[in-house]
């Protein structure tokens, strides 16, 4: 895997009419202390930091050579005024300029005491039958015959350990709970949900699952997914990442799920597929309706889904009647009770099974009003 590398870009927007100073801290999983730097962002401008080129000094003003940010790390941004932060990671082969896989996530604002409860509707381990089967001795990060599901849980506290509990929810409403995870201050914990010991006990190939992640203090979880080219066991041809949705739910009954496509046109060799993940963490059943908007047809295609209490449901665009092939549409989900929604979008080359591109977004809850 020495020829495989990833580069991450951190962008910070200053929407104000005055300059803002930001302290950027890089907290590395395998190195103490982390690194830090201060930047100034002009009014109404974006600062772009190519993280692989940065040379932050050791955090706390310690006298040591500048750090090279590499491997697993998290980033904390503290600014003198409100800012918006985003990261984009691109994967490449050495010697080749084309991007093989990419993912992007928005930063999580740490307002007040932060959050200690989070929801993730989009768990799915897909085996497309392309790559060789792994052996028991293979590390989970090399078990690439199926979709990666990587859960990162960050503890942003500077001094105190956090205890995180992960619950897994299935389509029938049953659930299981993993042993609590102890996360050191300003560190993250990584779990491969697609491989043992999690696979089999908490997750299953071909069955959707949802997550509830809770902590005894504020934590920040994220899920990264990847799918692999048919000719490589180490290079994801498609990547996605999403921050979890903060709970508890209030009255999130309408969700915006973005714009996408389904299927393809005869003159193009690209096919699109969307998968909608709907999680009901409550104690009562929720009845949902997916609506597909922005089409010239008079009748709006819809798809009804029943989600039992504590359950997750998954709807695929290929199973929804009335969606046009190769034309963009907008998706919305409405329920008679609070729920959480997420969408995955994948692109395929016609006639081939492996995913060529993938992204995921957590739905945006909306109050449409009367």
pLDDT tens digits, one per residue of 165-190: 999 999 999 999 999 999 999 889 99
Domain residue limits, the chain: 1-99, 254-365
- The confidence band for 370, taking pLDDT boundaries of 50, 70 and 90, is very low
For residues 6-19, b (16+ Cβ closer than 10 Å) or e, as one string?
Answer: bebbbebbbeeeee
Residue 91 pLDDT > 90: no
Rounded CA separation 257/275 (Å): 10
- Are 310 and 284 contacting, i.e. CB atoms less than 8 angstroms apart? no
- Are 293 and 259 contacting, i.e. CB atoms less than 8 angstroms apart? no
Whether the upstream peptide bond of residue 297 has omega within 30° of 0, thus cis, is: no
Residue 217 pLDDT > 60: yes
Structure confidence at residue 142 (pLDDT): 66
**Region label for 212, one of left (φ > 0), alpha (ψ between -120 and 50) or beta (otherwise):** beta
Write the pLDDT tens digit of every residue in 227-248: 877 556 566 778 899 999 999 9
CATH of the domain spanning 254-365:
2.60.290.11
- Are 277 and 314 contacting, i.e. CB atoms less than 8 angstroms apart? yes
Give the pLDDT mean for 322-345: 92
Q: What angle do CA 142, 71, 96 make, to 5 degrees?
A: 75
Of 312, 313, 317, 340, which Cα lies nearest the Cα of 328? 317
On whether the 1-99 domain is CATH 2.60.290.11, my answer is yes
Torsion of the alpha carbons at 105, 111, 116 and 121, rounded to the nearest 10: -30
Residue predicted with more confidence, 330 or 355: 330
Residue 257 pLDDT > 90: yes
Q: Find tokens 């908007």 and name the residue.
A: 293
Fold equal for 1-99 and 254-365 = yes
- Are 222 and 152 contacting, i.e. CB atoms less than 8 angstroms apart? yes
């Amino acid at each position: 895997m020495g020829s495989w590398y990833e580069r991450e870009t951190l962008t910070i927007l200053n929407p104000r009419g005055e300059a803002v100073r930001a302290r950027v801290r890089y907290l590395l999983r395998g190195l103490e202390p982390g690194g830090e730097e201060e930047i100034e962002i002009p009014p109404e401008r974006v600062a772009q930091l190519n993280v692989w080129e940065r040379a932050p000094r050791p955090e706390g003003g310690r006298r040591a050579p500048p750090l090279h940010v590499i491997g697993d790390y998290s980033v904390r941004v503290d600014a003198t005024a409100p800012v918006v932060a985003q990261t984009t990671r691109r994967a490449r082969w050495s010697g080749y300029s084309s991007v093989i896989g990419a993912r992007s996530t928005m930063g999580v604002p740490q307002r007040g005491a932060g959050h200690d409860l989070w929801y993730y509707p989009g768990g799915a381990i897909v085996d497309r039958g392309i790559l060789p089967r792994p052996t028991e001795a293979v590390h989970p990060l090399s078990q690439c015959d199926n979709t990666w599901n990587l859960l990162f849980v960050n503890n942003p506290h500077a001094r105190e350990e956090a205890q995180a509990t992960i619950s897994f929810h299935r389509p029938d409403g049953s659930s299981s709970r993993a042993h609590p995870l102890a996360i050191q201050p300003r560190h993250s914990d990584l779990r491969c949900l697609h491989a043992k010991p999690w696979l089999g006990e908490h997750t299953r190939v071909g069955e959707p699952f949802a997550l509830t992640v809770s902590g005894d203090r504020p934590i920040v979880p994220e899920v990264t997914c990847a799918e692999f080219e048919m000719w490589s066991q180490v290079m994801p041809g498609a990547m996605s990442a999403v921050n979890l949705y903060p709970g508890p739910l209030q009255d999130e009954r309408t969700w915006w799920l973005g714009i996408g496509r389904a299927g393809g046109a005869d003159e193009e060799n690209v096919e699109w597929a969307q998968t909608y993940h709907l999680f009901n963490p409550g104690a009562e059943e929720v009845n949902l309706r997916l609506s597909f908007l922005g089409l010239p047809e008079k009748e709006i295609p819809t798809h009804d889904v029943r989600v039992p209490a504590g359950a997750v449901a998954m709807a695929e665009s290929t199973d929804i009647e009335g969606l046009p092939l190769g034309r963009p549409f907008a998706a919305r989900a409405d329920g008679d009770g609070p729920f959480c929604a997420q969408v995955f979008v994948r692109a395929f080359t016609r006639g081939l099974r492996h995913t060529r591109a993938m992204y995921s977004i957590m739905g945006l809850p909306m109050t449409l009003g009367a």
